[in-house]
Amino acid sequence: MFRRVVTVASLLLALPSCSQNGTAVTAGVPDLDAAGGVTAVIFRILDGDSFEAMLADGTIVEVRLLGINAPERDECYHEDAASALEKLMPGEIVLVSDAEETDRYGRLLSYALVADENVNLAMVTEGHAVALQSGHTLEPSFVDAANGAAVTGRGLWSATACGFASPLPAVQISEFEFDPPGRDADEPNREWVTFRNRGQERVDLEGWIVRDESTQHRFVFPSGAELAAGSSVTVRSGCGDPTPEDLYWCAGDPVWSNGGDTIIIQLPDGTVVDWERYAGTR
């Protein structure tokens, strides 16, 4: 299980120097060796998808696990994901990069291998992280694993992951438009997601969250938002005057990736109520 090793062309050649809690993160990651990776030792787990690793020469680099996104520090399941990552990487690892070498924060984007186990893949397989459809080499395997975790309710996809004890409200994603004609940024309100209450009771939506795969896009339902039994509400990506049928994210940029994304609706405590993953177009 999870046993797939990938060799790629290059690792990060330079990272900007920074300091976290007094620990220097220095520049200079050596080239790949003949086996296609760089050996490192875990220095510190930061969260469920990032950590600091020490290379053989003493260099410490911050690594962001490629192709996954774990809950943030202020989100439900954050500590569970971080703990799961720590257990998967007890000591020595091999870092293997892909087409993209760094993220926008200058962190090394990498697969992490322990023996012949891909840690990134293990995290999404067990439901500790969401799979990102970012075009990396192992994306199809990651998406399949993430779908399996969500369908079976493992990890963060579990109805009890955030402490919710009652049956979930019967609110579902019913329709969506992620790639309207023309430039998405020109008419963002033509990008939308519709949610329907398929239950028999009114549902108070105040504080509910709509999100994508990333850490950037979060919409919180405002005070007074509700869904009567059998009714629908559409959340549009642009700005506008809200009505009982239409709410506006006013995100400032397109929310839903044309290359593939995951639509997730959550209770205020972070419990996943429904999700829809689409492949999009490349």
Q: Which residues of 86-121 are buried (b: 16+ CB within 10 A; e: fewer)?
A: eebbeeebbbbbbeebbeeebbbbbbbbbeebbbbb
> DSSP string of 221-242?
PPTT-EE-TT-EEEEESS----
Mapped onto helix, strand or coil, the DSSP state of residue 54 is strand
* CATH classification at residue 264: 2.60.40.1260
Mark whether 190 is an active-site residue: no
Pair (150, 236) in one structural domain: no
Domains held by the chain: number: 2
Are residues 206 and 246 both part of a single domain?
yes
Among the candidates 104, 125, 157, a domain finishes at 157
Within-domain flag for 89:
yes
Q: Mean pLDDT, the chain, as a whole number? A: 87
Residue 238 domain flag: yes
Q: Which residue segment(s) compose the domain that 47 sits in?
A: 18-157
102 bridge partner residues: 108
Residue 64 is among the residues annotated as catalytic for this protein: yes
Question: What pLDDT is stored for residue 36 in this prediction?
Answer: 61
Mean per-residue pLDDT for 259-277?
Answer: 97
Q: Is residue 215 part of a domain?
A: yes
Does residue 34 surpass a pLDDT of 50? no
Instruction: Say if residue 145 is in the same domain as residue 175.
Output: no
The answer to whether residue 200 scores a pLDDT higher than 50 is yes
Please say if the pLDDT value at position 144 is more than 70.
yes
Whether 151 and 37 share a structural domain: yes
Whether 97 has a pLDDT exceeding 90, the answer reads no
Residue 102, pLDDT score:
82
Q: Give pLDDT tens digits for 75-84.
A: 999 999 999 9
Q: Which of 104, 133, 157 is the last residue of a domain?
A: 157
On the question of pLDDT at 280 being above 90, the answer is no
**Which one-letter DSSP state was computed for residue 55?**
E
Same structural domain, 151 and 248: no
- Which residues, including other chains, have CB under 8 Å from residue 115's CB and lie 6 or more apart? none
Residue 282's alpha-carbon distances to 130, 173, 258, 259, 261, in angstroms, are 20, 24, 7, 5, 12
CA pair distance 114, 92, nearest whole angstrom:
7
My answer on whether 230 and 196 are in the same domain is yes
Quick one: 26 and 152 in the same domain? yes
Q: Residues with Cβ < 8 Å from 272, sequence gap 6 or more?
A: 150, 156, 157, 159, 161, 264, 265, 266
Tell whether 131 and 40 lie within a shared domain: yes
- The CATH number of whichever domain residue 97 belongs to comes to 2.40.50.90
| Euclidean distance between CA atoms 166 and 7, whole angstroms | 46
100: confidence class by pLDDT, cuts 50, 70, 90:
low
pLDDT of 201 higher than 80: yes
Do residue 151 and residue 250 come from a single domain? no
What pLDDT is attached to residue 143?
A: 96
> Is residue 104 a part of any domain in this protein?
yes
**202 noted as active-site residue:** no
* Last residue within a domain, chosen from 157, 181, 211: 157
**Given the residues 62, 64, 75, 236, the one annotated as active site:** 64
Residues 83 and 147 in one domain: yes
Mean pLDDT of 128-144: 95
Contact 254, 184 (CB under 8 A): yes
The residue-averaged pLDDT of 228-250 equals 97
Question: Sign (positive/negative) of CA torsion 56, 57, 60, 66?
Answer: negative
Catalytic residue among 72, 139, 177, 187: 72
Q: Based on the domain organization, do 25 and 148 belong to the same domain?
A: yes
pTM for the whole structure = 0.84
Residue 114 domain-assigned?
yes
In a domain, 247, yes or no: yes
Whether residue 216 sits in one domain with residue 137: no
Q: Which of 52, 75, 101, 107 is catalytic?
A: 107
